[in-house]
Structure 1
């Protein structure tokens, strides 16, 4: 009977399997390290690209902020110019308002009324004077309300009768009426830049 010793062969196969296992384990470790290295490189590239985009966006944002600041300053300058232009236009218009006012008073004041004072405070004009009758004052109020483009909302503040002493040629007392009227001064949209020539030479009262 022939006896064969298989122990060395089995031991050799065990060693081969162990070597193969460690070789596979080493290969897996190398592959894992390589994959981790590749992922790290990719991640670094992605991070660098994102940082580059962030830097570009930051630069663009700063540039836009400068443009917005310039635009805001330009708008402020434009608003300032508009305000100065409006001030000049208002000054040009308001310069002629007293002439228009006197022209309106002369134009729509009936006979028998004499103005003693004309006072303007802002847009409110207060007129005091003397009238021959109450009807003259009422007519003046109607004219200012219905016909004048500059005088609005006329209001009778006060009216009272006064007796004047007789004159040298007459022994009878004269009866007149002192009155005070308040009106609002409104510039019409189609106001002319210059007052009529007749208004410049017209007296502030009507006989």
Structure 2
């Protein structure tokens, strides 16, 4: 694989993966609430499912989903509901007894977020449609290499969002600023959920 190919791939994929979306906003919120280390299980869950998506799409699921687009819409509707739940989780006030407890965000939360994250499916479809347009005749090594490139970019990008959220948390030095920060991240998740819902005919019925 040539350097020209890699640069073209980066030019197409970096804006898609780095741009704000359900997973990236959640990473920033988790970094602010949990810190970097305790956000890693969330990242592991999200990126594990991203890899699974790569294998499913790369080895045949793209054709099936093209024939049944309503499946993506159903996932999208589930993702909106889960984003609203996460927004509540980050915004709800903490009782004095729970101040020292770490929020319960785990690898399973990350897996569910990514399963329901239609943006992740679209990114994967886009990558293969541009860089491996005829999957039935592409060598397995090409598909595996594209999945590996996507995984490396995902891990580095998602870690950046966690670090960004963690850095913002350092400015929240008192209870009031922490509450404001939590509300801002919660509002961001709600706005992403609203944007997704407005794009989904199922949610507008």
Instruction: Settle same-fold status: TM greater than 0.5.
Output: no
TM class, shorter-chain normalised? under 0.3
Provide TM-score, normalisation by structure 2. 0.23
Q: Which one has the bigger helix percentage?
A: 2
**Larger RCO, structure (CA 8 Å, separation 6 or more):** 2
Provide TM-score, normalisation by structure 1. 0.23
